Chains A and B, each alone.
Chain A
Amino acid sequence: MVKEHTFAFFLGCIMPNRYPAIEKATKFVMEKLGYEILEMERATCCPAPGVFRSFNKFDWMVAGARNLCIAEQLDADILTVCNGCFGTLQEINKHLKENEEHRIQVNEKLKLLGDYEFKGIIDVRHVAEVLGYEVGPWGIEDHIVRKLNLKAAIHYGCHFLKPTRIREIESSEGPTIIEDFVEALGIESVRFKEQLTCCGAGGGVKAYSGDASMTIFGEKMKNIDEVKPDIILDICPFCHLQFETGQDYLNKNKECNYDYPVFHLSQVLAYCMGMDVDFIGLQYQMMGRDFIFGGEDVKKEEAI
């Protein structure tokens, strides 16, 4: 049995190395909610599903299994904040639990990398799913000290829900898990055209063809701009990076004039749970730097 209310915190690459404020916020939120967060020492890139799986699927499984083993040694389920990390680790974990032949092959190669053996004793979780289904909108109310009043364009990204038969979270054609959760924070989700499409960064496309990636993203932004949200809300640092750098690119190259602040779910929640606004990290981001959260303090009735 893995430890309860404890997570091995898988950082990945983009969060710790580009948006450390998301890391700060996630830790803050999870610890306030009573979870213990353990460091995964010597972890690496998940490795990214679009690129590394494209080059060598077997090595991708081995490198992913190595990360899984680090969490197994801590006896804790993995917590990720990134759709890419989630995609890689959840899929490899599930596959190796089910496929004995591959498990043996992967374990054989793992020996080359050190003292690792995949046992299949943990699960891989995404912070959005833990918040949405385990903490729940019903459970978060008690923890909120500020309630917002704003409209968000919610971006699910691709790998949180898909492939649905592997993730087994919710339908990918009309999900509501994030909407339901952020409603409790005072955030209204504004629907926009093609809401559930890709941001254009995945599959190695951002690195392979910046033009193609920006064409797909440009459409996304056009649809978001139509509904004029206050913020863009994501659950993945890679989508986050695309929304940040992409708006900047479109402004500079395609005569656009976007300035939407981009937040990861953890950042918004951390604000609502009372984290110092400087730690939310908007000052480090490129877009929407003048944005002010505002919102109202929630008055708590004294507990008896």
Chain B
Amino acid sequence: MSDVEEQQKNREFKTDDDFDTEFFKRIENRSNIMKCIQCGTCTASCESGRWTALKTRSIVRKVVLGDLSVLDDPDIWLCTTCYQCYERCPRDVKPTDVIMELRNYATKRGNISPNHRAVVGYLKNFGHAVPINDEVRKRRVELGLEELPPTAFKYKQEGDDKDLKKIEKYMFDLPPVKEEKKGEEK
């Protein structure tokens, strides 16, 4: 086999199965992705991409092409939602919103990091993404504030957990942890 043939054999090609032009129709309805001219203003403005692997322009392109691999791409989770691309895109593509929608699809596939899973758990248990701790309880009292803020968690502490029970039951259902992904991310 010649070198070229060898290279060809080992190279990974995307096949039709990797694309589904219908898949992102819902994003298309909301975000003008078809107007993207691949100018790269989004990537140039990206405050995360300057230091990380996130390439906003290429993510938008993949969505336009229906390249489903973008849903497994960890880079979509590196967007800080700074909205710089959203402000500057000359075609009003709203890349920030596109990435947020992609994350919704990725989440449905079970692509959600353990840390993010934990945050959802906090909301369901405490009503807060960042729950209170003993130290801060003490400080609140020293400051002359109520030991617990009057949020849903305080009522749960007092034995009235009807709010948080409902939130737990009806909100932010996540798919089970993906088997092959287990232990892969830190």
Contacts and interface: CB of A to CB of B under 8 A. Distances in A.
Given A56-B107, A162-B83, A13 B51 contact: no
Nearest to B108: A56
Interface stretch (B9-17, B36-44, B123-131, B176-184): B123-131
Interface string B114-150: 0110111001000111111100100110011100011
B73 interface: no
Contact of A57 (B77, B104, B129): B104
A24 B131 contact: no
A113 interface: yes
B21 interface: no
B72 interface: no
B81 A203 contact: yes
Nearest to A87: B81
Interface of B: 47-48, 50-52, 77-84, 86-87, 96, 100-101, 103-104, 107, 112-113, 115-116, 118-120, 123, 127-133, 136, 139-140, 143-145, 149-152, 155, 162-163, 166-167, 170-174
Given A158-B83, A203-B79, A215 B52 contact: yes
B77 A18 contact: no
Contacts of B107: 54-56
A164 B82 CA distance: 12
Contacts of B129: 13, 45, 47-48, 51-52
A18 B145 CA distance: 13
Contacts of A284: 139
A139 interface: no
A104 to B, nearest CB: 17
Nearest to A12: B128
B136 to A, nearest CB: 6
29 contacts: A14-B130, A16-B149, A21-B139, A42-B152, A44-B151, A44-B152, A45-B128, A48-B119, A52-B119, A52-B123, A54-B77, A54-B107, A55-B104, A55-B116, A57-B100, A63-B171, A113-B167, A202-B82, A203-B82, A205-B77, A207-B116, A207-B118, A208-B115, A208-B116, A212-B51, A213-B80, A215-B52, A216-B52, A279-B143
Contacts of B86: 162-163
A158 B82 contact: yes
Contacts of B174: 55
Given A20-B139, A45-B129, 7 more contacts: A44-B152, A47-B123, A113-B166, A158-B80, A203-B48, A203-B81, A216-B51
A212 to B, nearest CB: 5
Most B CB within 10 A of own CB, among A18, A20, A59: A20
A281 B87 CA distance: 36
